[in-house]
Amino acid sequence: MMPHMKTMTLLACWLGCCLVTSGADYVVAVSIDGLGSTYLQTLVDAGKLPHFKHLETESAGTTNARADFDITVTLPNHTSMITSRRIKEPEGHHWTSNTDPAKGVTIHSNKGSYVPSVFDVVHDHGLRTGVWGTKSKFALFKVSYDALHGAPDETGPDNGRNKVDCFVYAKSSVLTDSVISMMTTQPCHFAFVYFGDADAAGHTHGWGSEPYNAALITMDGYLGRIMDLISTDSRLKGRTDLIVTADHGGEGKDHSDATKPIDYTIPFYVWGAGVTPGDLYTVNAGTRKEPGTGRPDYSEQNPPVRNSDVGNLALSLLGLPSIPGSAIDVKQDLKVK
């Protein structure tokens, strides 16, 4: 853990200016660490995850999305989510570590060049961004896109180099309270929310164990609170989209084998304002191909839905352009409406 990070809660929020876009006004992206589709579907079918059931019936979604082709590990996959890049190869972001970043190390210094993110595009268009996470290593996003390390804003008025307006590190219950409080008072146009409880239970007790299942049931409750906020808050209702996905699944007490279907098969749901419910592969038959149990690489003309679609999909929903230098959904042709 980084020396300046507190064990329980770290709140550091800054105000930003607001600008109305032509798409949704707000996007909340929620990632539930270790949420393997096999375990999710079993609990949904058993009636134990009512809010995920809600997503299953009312979202544009699939339980057959994919993690990164090369690495099924937490922080590298989440870096793919915010940059819409693969991890390896020249076009990748190259972040492979799964620990707190060393002092002074950023996504950019690690790669050797600046890696733009969804936070850059949203912030540089005059909108607010936020990151909420239950693990201290997500400070990587804060330090990589802060006032010192973020790129100059060359889009319209200068909104500064600090691309992350609000950063919160806390346990899940406090984190959920913080998301709801911020989104009702000074809402972020793009909010990235990470829950790590299921992954922790999987590593300690095993994927599919009772503690793991209990963690997913708890996560379902937190997700329900966020969905209720989006459905009822006067500012957010009818103007907000929710993306829910994961970084990897797991088996036994591990998830690091990127060749195992149980490790790389994850859910991907989009729910909210104007979203047309249905199977993502059916809706996107011309641009995405249902992979079955396969593991398509990045050369596929019609790729599977991946967790790295998050960044550019969120920007598309907000009516904003894709992330410069990105390669996943760079055409923003993953349709949910």
Our CA dihedral for 309, 176, 108, 154, rounded to 10 degrees, sits at 80
CB atoms inside a 10 Å sphere around CB 295: 16
Secondary structure (DSSP) of 21-65: -SS-SEEEEEEETT--HHHHHHHHHTT--HHHHHHHHHSEEEEEE
Residue-level pLDDT at 209: 98
pLDDT digits (tens, 9 = 90+) for 228-274: 999 999 999 999 999 999 999 999 999 999 999 999 999 999 999 99
Mean pLDDT of the chain: 94
Q: Provide the CA 148 distance to its chain's centre, in angstroms.
A: 24
- Alpha-carbon span 256 to 263, nearest angstrom: 7
The answer to whether 171 touches 8, Cβ cutoff 8 Å, is yes
Judged against a pLDDT cut of 60, whether residue 5 lies above it is answered with: no
Query: Which residue is it, tokens 């609000």?
Result: 166
Q: Which of these, 301, 231, 300, 227, lies nearest to 269 by C-alpha position?
A: 227
Which structure tokens are listed for 284? 């996107």
Residue 67 identity: A
Q: Torsions phi, psi of 44, nearest 5?
A: -65, -45
CB atoms inside a 10 Å sphere around CB 260: 17
SS3 (DSSP) at 268: strand
Judged against a pLDDT cut of 90, whether residue 13 lies above it is answered with: no
pLDDT digits (tens, 9 = 90+) for 283-324: 999 999 999 999 999 999 999 999 999 999 999 999 999 999
Judged against a pLDDT cut of 90, whether residue 9 lies above it is answered with: no
pLDDT digits (tens, 9 = 90+) for 125-151: 999 999 999 999 999 999 999 999 999
pLDDT band at 21 (very low <50, low <70, confident <90, very high): very low
The domains found in the chain, sorted by start residue, are: 22-317 (3.40.720.10)
Segment holding 276, helix H or strand E = none
The answer to whether 163 touches 145, Cβ cutoff 8 Å, is yes
Judged against a pLDDT cut of 60, whether residue 89 lies above it is answered with: yes
Q: Span 66-76, mean pLDDT?
A: 98
What percentage of the chain reaches a pLDDT higher than 70? Answer: 93
Residue-level pLDDT at 58: 97
pLDDT band at 20 (very low <50, low <70, confident <90, very high): very low
Q: Span 215-238, mean pLDDT?
A: 98
pLDDT band at 11 (very low <50, low <70, confident <90, very high): very low
The answer to whether 328 touches 82, Cβ cutoff 8 Å, is no
CB atoms inside a 10 Å sphere around CB 103: 9
Residue-level pLDDT at 10: 37
pLDDT digits (tens, 9 = 90+) for 147-195: 999 999 999 999 999 999 999 999 999 999 999 999 999 999 999 999 9
Q: Span 3-10, mean pLDDT?
A: 37
